[in-house]
Amino acid sequence: MVGCQECRAEEEMGDIYTPKLSHKTLTAPAPFADETSCQCQAPHEKLTIAQARLGTPVDRPVRVYADGIFDLFHSGHARALMQAKTLFPNSYLLVGVCSDDLTHKFKGFTVMNETERYEALRHCRYVDEVIRDAPWTLTPEFLEKHKIDFVAHDDIPYSSAGSDDVYKHIKEAGMFVPTQRTEGISTSDIITRIVRDYDVYARRNLQRGYTAKELNVSFINEKKYRFQNQVDKMKEKVKNVEEKSKEFVYKVEEKSHDLIQKWEEKSREFIGNFLELFGPDGAWKQMFQERSGRMLQALSPRQSPTSSPTRGRSPSRSPSPTFPWLPNKTSPPSSPKAASASISSMSEGDEDEK
C-alpha cells in the first residue's frame, strides 16, 4: 500500500505530482498510512542509491522510510527528517512511529503518549505520510507493504531487542542511507535538564496554578516551594528597588551637576554686577560723589556776587543800637576772667532794675 497522494497524482495530475504533493504537505497535516483507501497499481521497480541520486521520474518518487520514538519532538528530530527528505531529488518520506506498548517494552517510559507523538510528526513539514504502530525491527513484509526503497537513520549501531544493530540486515541489503545526528539536543538531554532542575520547574508550575496533587508534590515540599517563591519575589523586589535607586542617584547626580553649572554661571554674573555697582569705578561711587557734592553745595553759604550795581557806592551805615547789658559781639572776651566779669555785671544791672 502506498500513499493516497501518489495515486491521486497518477490519476488526476499526471506529471505534476511533485508540486501537488509539496503544496499539500505545507498546507495540511500528513496523512496516516492506514487511513488511505486507494491501492497503487503502478509498477515499483527496485532502485539503487546511484539511480535514486540521479533522479527518478516525477510519478516515481523515491520512497524513504525513517522511524523512531520521537518523544518530546525537538529540532534534532526535525533535522534528521529534513536530511531524509532531501537525500534524493525526488523523494517521498514515510515516518514510522512506535506505539506506547512497544516503546515501554524495549526503551522505557515516554513523556508524550503515542497519539501526541503521532500528531507531532504529522505537522512536521518534511513528512509526507505517518505510519502508526511501526515495528521495532523492520521485516521484509513491512518493507514490501509500504513499497519502501531506502531506510534513513544515523549510522551509529542501534542495539535493542537482543540485537547488536536492528538495522544490520537493512545495511546488508543496500537499503540503508545514513543521516547525521544533531549534537547537543536529544530527548534524554531534555529529560535530564528537567530532573536536574526539578525544584525549579515544580515551583514554576505551582506559580502557574497547578496543584501539589497534580505535580505529585508532598505537603511539606509544597510549603517549601511556596516559601521559596515568596523569597524569590522579595529578592526581585529588592533588586528592582536597587536598580531604581541607582537610576535615581544617577538622575540626582546629573541634576546636581546641572545645578552646579548654573550656580557657577549665576555667581559669575552676580560678582560681575556687584563689581560694576560697588567697584572702584562703580556706579555707586559715582552716585555717592554726585550726592556728596550736592549736599556740600547746599550747606556752604552763598558768596556775594562779585559784580553788583551798588558796589561803587559807599552806603551809609545806620548806627546799630547799643545795649549796655549785652556783651559786645564784635569784641569777644579775651579771657575766661573777662567773660565772668561781664556776666556778673549783667546780673548786677538786672538787680538794680528790680
Can you spell out the DSSP letters for 87-143? SSSSEEEEEEE--HHHHHHHT---SS-HHHHHHHHHT-TT-SEEEES--SS--HHHH
Tens of pLDDT, residue by residue over 58-116, are 888 999 999 999 999 999 999 999 999 999 999 999 999 999 999 999 999 999 999 99
Mean pLDDT taken over the chain: 78
Please state the domain extents for the chain: 49-184, 188-287
Residue 2 clears pLDDT 90, i.e. is over it: no
How sure is the predictor about 325, in pLDDT bands with cuts at 50, 70 and 90? very low
Mean pLDDT of 297-312: 60
How confident is the model at residue 80, as a pLDDT? 96
Q: In 3D, which of 325, 312, 329 has the Cα closest to residue 351? A: 325
Residue 353 clears pLDDT 50, i.e. is over it: no
284 vs 353, residue with greater confidence: 284
Question: Cβ(90)–Cβ(62) under 8 Å?
Answer: yes
Tell me if residue 282 falls in helix, strand or coil. Answer: coil
How sure is the predictor about 41, in pLDDT bands with cuts at 50, 70 and 90? very low
Mean pLDDT of 53-62: 89
How confident is the model at residue 168, as a pLDDT? 93
257 vs 341, residue with greater confidence: 257
Q: Rounded to 5 degrees, what are φ and ψ at 58? A: -60, -40
92 vs 341, residue with greater confidence: 92
Kindly report which listed range (69-78, 142-151, 186-195, 342-351) carries the lowest average pLDDT score: 342-351
Mean pLDDT of 131-147: 94
Cα atoms in the Cβ-side hemisphere of radius 13 Å centred on 188: 4
How sure is the predictor about 10, in pLDDT bands with cuts at 50, 70 and 90? very low
CATH homologous superfamily of 49-184 equals HUPs (3.40.50.620)
216: left (phi over 0), alpha (psi -120 to 50) or beta: left
How confident is the model at residue 43, as a pLDDT? 59
Residue corresponding to grid cell 542501534: 158
Residue 187 clears pLDDT 90, i.e. is over it: yes
How confident is the model at residue 342, as a pLDDT? 55
Q: Is the pTM of this model over 0.75?
A: no
How far apart are the C-alpha atoms of 223 and 127, rounded to whole Å?
46
C-alpha cell at position 26: 505545507
How confident is the model at residue 236, as a pLDDT? 83
Residue 329 clears pLDDT 50, i.e. is over it: no
How far apart are the C-alpha atoms of 319 and 316, rounded to whole Å?
9
